[in-house]
């Protein structure tokens, strides 16, 4: 017994042969169609049309399949090129920003007539109990405890611990930090102490002192840590209680500690 698949194949072959024979006869007698020819042609024409349509469909599917494969490969290639270009762009941008920061450090070096050592922020205090940073310079580079640390914006803090290749710096926004400072415009003195992540307090400013919002606060040089004249911040708020000897002055530091990357250590 033949299987259904074999029978179908034989039928297709038989119809193809009949089609070839009829086409041959028709070619020899183009105007001599008989009733048998008409009957046979009536059965073969639908088959021919179906075969032609099937072949056209398969051809379209075949070409579209390979076309889609090519498009997908091209898309993947362009994605890889784009990703590489983004990485290169990020590197160039980072190099440009690093050059800008170094240029700012050079400008500070030219303005501060002291021996300065450039350093990078290598870490932050993970405990959260104190506002400190770790820099990648230590005793092997000439850094010692108590040295002042500044940035292009102004005062950063001072070294409280020193190791061979690193040092810990207490920031001015820490509550245990204290800088003897001056209101630059009127020369009234006070002590800058840390308060929050963004503000400090200028303590012990007498009530009669002429202090205004926007005044610049600088280091006085009387604490033995910071040289005189280093910018600390600007007065952001003033409160004068009805009683007491002092007014409450808040200072916003010039340095943005959330973006701090490069600093300078005053080696003297």
The beta strand positions in 1-104, using DSSP E, are none
Say which range, 17-21, 35-39, 68-72, has the weakest mean pLDDT: 35-39
pLDDT average, residue stretch 166-189:
93
**Contact by Cβ (8 Å): 249, 235:** yes
Highest mean pLDDT out of 5-14, 168-177, 253-262: 168-177
The residue among 235 and 153 whose pLDDT is bigger is 235
pLDDT band at 238 (very low <50, low <70, confident <90, very high): very high
- Would you say residue 200 has pLDDT above 90? yes
How many whole angstroms separate alpha carbon 255 and alpha carbon 96? 21
- The pTM is what? 0.61
**CB burial of residue 195 (10 Å; 0-12, 13-18, 19+):** middle
- Would you say residue 80 has pLDDT above 90? no
- Residue 133 host element (H or E): strand 132-135
Q: Is the dihedral of CA 81, 84, 89, 92 positive or negative?
A: negative
- Structure confidence by residue, pLDDT tens digits, 84-118: 777 777 776 766 666 666 666 666 665 665 788 88
How many whole angstroms separate alpha carbon 2 and alpha carbon 132? 90
| pLDDT of the residue at 4 | 58
With helix as H, strand as E and coil as C, how does 190-206 read? EEEEECCCCCEEEEEEE
The CATH homologous superfamily to which domain 117-268 belongs is Rod shape-determining protein MreC, domain 1 (2.40.10.340)
Say which range, 83-97, 117-131, 222-236, has the weakest mean pLDDT: 83-97
How many whole angstroms separate alpha carbon 188 and alpha carbon 206? 8
| pLDDT of the residue at 262 | 87
- Structure confidence by residue, pLDDT tens digits, 30-44: 555 555 555 555 555
Query: How far, in Å, are 74, 184, 193, 236 from residue 206 at the CA level?
Result: 74, 15, 16, 17
- Would you say residue 46 has pLDDT above 80? no
**Contact by Cβ (8 Å): 121, 133:** yes
């Amino acid at each position: 017994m033949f299987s259904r698949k074999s029978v179908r194949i034989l039928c297709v072959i038989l119809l193809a042969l009949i089609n070839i024979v009829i086409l041959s006869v028709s070619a020899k007698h183009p105007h001599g169609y008989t009733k048998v020819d008409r009957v046979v042609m009536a059965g073969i024409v639908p088959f021919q049309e179906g075969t032609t349509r099937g072949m056209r469909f398969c051809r379209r599917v075949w070409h579209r399949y390979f076309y889609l494969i090519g498009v997908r490969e091209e898309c993947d290639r362009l994605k890889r090129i784009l990703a590489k270009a983004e990485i290169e762009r990020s590197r160039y941008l980072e190099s440009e920003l690093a050059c800008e920061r170094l240029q700012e450090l050079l400008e500070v070096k030219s303005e501060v007539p002291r021996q300065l050592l450039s350093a990078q922020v290598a870490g932050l205090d993970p405990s959260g109990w104190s506002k400190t940073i770790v820099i990648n310079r230590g005793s092997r580079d000439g850094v010692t405890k108590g040295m002042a640390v500044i940035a292009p914006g102004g005062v950063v803090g001072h070294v409280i611990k020193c190791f061979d290749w690193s040092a810990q710096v207490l920031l001015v926004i820490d509550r245990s930090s204290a800088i003897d400072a001056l209101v630059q415009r009127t020369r009234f003195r006070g002590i800058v102490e840390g308060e929050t992540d963004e503000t400090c307090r200028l303590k012990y400013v007498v009530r009669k002192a002429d202090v205004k919002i926007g005044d610049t606060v600088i280091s006085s040089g009387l604490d033995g840590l910071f040289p005189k004249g280093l910018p600390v911040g600007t007065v952001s708020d003033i409160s004068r209680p009805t009683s007491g000897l002092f007014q409450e002055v808040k200072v916003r530091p010039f340095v943005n500690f959330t973006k701090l990357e490069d600093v300078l250590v005053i080696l003297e």
